[in-house]
Amino acid sequence: MKKINLLYLFGFLMFFASCEFEEQIDPNAPSINSVLTDATLTELNLLVTGTEANMRNGFGNYVTSSGSVAREFYLFDADPRNTEDLLGKDGMMLDNNTFYLTAPYNTRYRVVKNCNILLEALENTENVTEAEKDAYRGFANTVKGYMLFQVLNLMGENGIRVDVADPENLGPFVSQSEAFNEIVSTMETGFSQVQNSDFKLPLSVGFAGFDDAESFGQFNQALTAKILTFAGDYQGALDRLSKSFLDLSADIMNGPQHVFSTASGDIFNPLFKSPQQNGDQIVVHNSMLEDALPGDQRLNKFRERDNPTSQDGLNGTHETALYASSTSPISIIRNEELILLYAECNIQTDNPGEAVNAINVIRSAHGLPDYDGSTDKDALIDELLFQRRYSLWGEGNRMFDLRRYGRLNDQFVPIDRAGDIIHMQFPIPLTEGQ
């Protein structure tokens, strides 16, 4: 009897135990491995679009974090840390694990990762020609270099990791100067790859006019010129400017842009704030209004508030009007900045006449009379930084401009509350384990 029972048992156990599960496939998204071998043209293009799209993510925090430190404006929103940590309230230091740092830092490196995946995918596919591959490579290296440059701006003397292709084996933190060298070299690699490539990348309308091998190369050189200027290599920058889309007589707004839309999955311009909105507003630092020259049309970037606003012991009468709507584009780099870089490099290479000429292009574009001050180097640097301050307000430059010229201190930056301090750079994020 018992034997029969056991046989029964054995029988049905075997029946059910034969149930074999299939290897799991993610039903929700393609896997990273799917593009690393035999990537198709479509997959490569998707990586390009994803890379371009994600350059925009975290850029808002890049601007608001550095702009708050530089006292271009205050960010009055529900998060107290925008007016406490960033402004060094009561001597408070920057936290190494908070959104104002991690948001721009993580998103920049995420784009770098996507570029590295694109580069790796290109090595393992035969679905596109070598000339086509060079276009992808040039794009990937240009974006990668530019993203690392933004991270380096935040980190300053803390340096950054440049070699991050292998997540299991990240390269070391390198010094600021070494990082500049590596970034420039990445940009130059990208430039040479783009040069004779078969460039048909699916860039958005933001790159209209910068979407062939020649014009994308000019974009690359424009960024390289900016990077070299920030690195202090003014002659090198001048060389690159000559190969960029710099044009003293063209529209100063000319240049590629980050575009935004209401399409499904797309994002809004993170720096647009609704007119007169409370609770989430970029409030112009009062010094921007006090220091402005009469008639400067760049004052249109500021809108007077119906009610002056205050938060955490800070106040302001104007708010940002830099962008007209939540889908207004954000300039990546434009002729205006190239002209200013051209002026700066000419000042630094002792060519004041050309510098004043360039500065006057900017002044006249904004309704100001020609520069009539001293043409000695220090005076011109003052003038240049003044012009950069108003031309590039709210675009993530001021903190680094001040730092480059040793002016990121209370002699040049207004302190609004007793006890506030000015941060020189952002700390290395906690997760880097440094």
Which residues between 221 and 280 bind other proteins (CB under 8 A)?
Answer: 259-266, 268, 272-280
Structure-derived torsion over alpha carbons of residues 415, 416, 420, 421, reported in degrees to the nearest 10:
-30
Q: Is the distance from CB of 34 to CB of 43 less than 8 angstroms?
A: yes
Q: 270 near 59, Cβ under 8 Å?
A: yes
User: What's the min distance (Å) between Cβ of 137 and other proteins?
Assistant: 18
CB of 126 to other proteins, least distance (A): 21
Number of residues this chain uses to bind other proteins (CB under 8 A): 100
Answer yes or no whether residue 370 interacts with other proteins by CB under 8 A. Answer: no
**CA-to-CA distance for 259 and 347, rounded, in angstroms?**
34
Shorter beta-carbon distance to other proteins: residue 151 or 183: 151
- DSSP string for 59-124: HHHHHHHHHHHTTSEEEESS-GGGTTTTTTGGGPPPPTTSHHHHHHHHHHHHHHHHHHHHHHHHHT
Tell me which of 3, 21, 290, 353 binds other proteins, using CB under 8 A.
Answer: 21
Instruction: Give me the least distance between CB of 407 and other proteins, in Å please.
Output: 26
Q: How far is the CB of 15 from other proteins (least distance, A)?
A: 9
How many other C-beta atoms can be found within 10 angstroms of the C-beta atom of residue 15? 9
Residue 408 dihedral angles phi and psi, to the nearest 5°: -85, 70
The kind and range of the H/E element at 355 are helix 352-365
At its nearest, how many Å lie between other proteins and the CB of residue 68?
16
Residue 125 near other proteins by CB under 8 A: no
Minimal distance in Å, beta carbon 306 to other proteins?
9
Question: Tokens 């104002």 label which residue?
Answer: 100
What would you report as the CA-atom Rg of the chain, rounded to the nearest whole angstrom?
26
Provide the mask over 315-334, with x wherever binding to other proteins is found by CB under 8 A and - wherever it is not. x---------xx--------
Mask 79-108, x = binds other proteins (CB under 8 A)? xxx--xx----x----x-xx---x--xx--
For other proteins, give the closer residue by CB, 39 or 187: 39
Query: Per CB under 8 A, which of residues 132..191 are in contact with other proteins?
Result: 151, 160-161, 164, 167, 170
Q: How far is the CB of 262 from other proteins (least distance, A)?
A: 3
Residue pair 136/124 in contact (Cβ under 8 Å)? The answer is no
Q: Is 9 in the site for other proteins (CB under 8 A)?
A: yes
CB-nearer residue toward other proteins: 109 or 216: 109
The answer to whether 342 contacts other proteins (rule: CB under 8 A) is no
Angle (CA) 201-207-212 rounded to 5° is 50
The Cβ of residue 326 has, within 10 Å, a number of other Cβ atoms equal to 16
Residue closer to other proteins, measured from CB, 34 or 192:
34
From residue 205, alpha-carbon distances to 53, 132, 257, 312, 410 in Å are 12, 20, 8, 41, 42
Between 139 and 191, name the residue whose CB sits nearer to other proteins. 139
Residue whose structure tokens are 């009062």: 286
Applying CB under 8 A, does 296 fall inside the site for other proteins? no
Nearer to other proteins, 116 or 346 (CB): 116
Using rule CB under 8 A, residue 77 touches other proteins? yes
DSSP-derived letter for residue 369 is: P
Q: Is 47 in the site for other proteins (CB under 8 A)?
A: yes
Using the Cα atoms of residue 382, residue 387, residue 389 and residue 392 in order, give the sign of their dihedral.
negative
- Cβ proximity to other proteins, 71 vs 398, nearer residue: 71
Token representation of residue 60: 């808002």
3-state DSSP assignment of residue 205? helix
| Between 115 and 380, CB nearer to other proteins | 115
Nearer to other proteins, 177 or 274 (CB): 274
> Whose Cβ is closer to other proteins: residue 275's or residue 295's?
275
Closest CA to 227 of 163, 171, 175, 176: 176
Subset of 190-219 contacting other proteins (CB under 8 A): 202, 204-206
Q: How far is the CB of 61 from other proteins (least distance, A)?
A: 12
